[in-house]
């Protein structure tokens, strides 16, 4: 099976870390979509709790790093720092939304390959 990698999803990297187990990778990607980390992040941000918001951004950074979802990882890392510093993060959040939507679309394609 030919799985490509790009700036959003580096499937080759992720697969190399999980013993080339495509079935496991697809399950993990499916779980990422189901968990809807972006919506949870928005919910926590709206609560106004800085510590919880930074923690949620950190969680998104971690799960995206584990799955090699590189754009989300980089942007959520930036967002975490902006939240912690008290800076305006609205532009970063908009960038994250765009990257999240593109990444989810790419994940859907991977999960469907040879389903």
Let me know if residue 6 belongs to a domain.
Answer: no
Let me know if residue 99 belongs to a domain.
Answer: yes
pLDDT in tens, 58-100: 999 999 999 999 999 999 999 999 999 999 999 999 999 999 9
Let me know if residue 83 belongs to a domain.
Answer: yes
Q: Is the pLDDT of residue 4 over 80?
A: no
Q: Please return the burial class of 28, using the count of CB atoms within 10 Å of its CB with bins 0-12, 13-18 and 19+.
A: middle
Let me know if residue 1 belongs to a domain.
Answer: no
Residue 6 and residue 100 in contact, taking contact as beta carbons nearer than 8 Å: no
Let me know if residue 20 belongs to a domain.
Answer: yes
Count structural domains, the chain: 1
Domain that holds residue 100: 11-110
* CATH code (residue 34): 1.20.120
pLDDT in tens, 49-60: 999 999 999 999
> Exposure string (b/e) for 79-110, b if CB count within 10 Å is 16 or more?
bbebbeeeeebeebbebbeebbebbbebbeeb
16: left (phi over 0), alpha (psi -120 to 50) or beta: alpha
Let me know if residue 2 belongs to a domain.
Answer: no
């Amino acid at each position: 099976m030919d799985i490509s990698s790009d700036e959003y999803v580096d499937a080759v990297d992720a697969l190399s870390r999980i013993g080339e187990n495509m079935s496991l990778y697809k399950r993990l990607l499916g779980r990422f979509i189901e968990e809807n980390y972006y919506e949870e992040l928005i919910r926590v941000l709206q609560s106004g709790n800085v510590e919880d918001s930074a923690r949620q951004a950190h969680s998104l950074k971690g799960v995206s790093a584990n799955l090699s979802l590189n754009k989300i990882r980089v942007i959520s890392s930036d967002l975490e720092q902006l939240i912690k510093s008290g800076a305006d993060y609205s532009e970063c959040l908009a960038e994250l939304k765009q990257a999240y939507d593109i990444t989810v679309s790419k994940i859907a394609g991977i999960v469907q390959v040879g389903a």
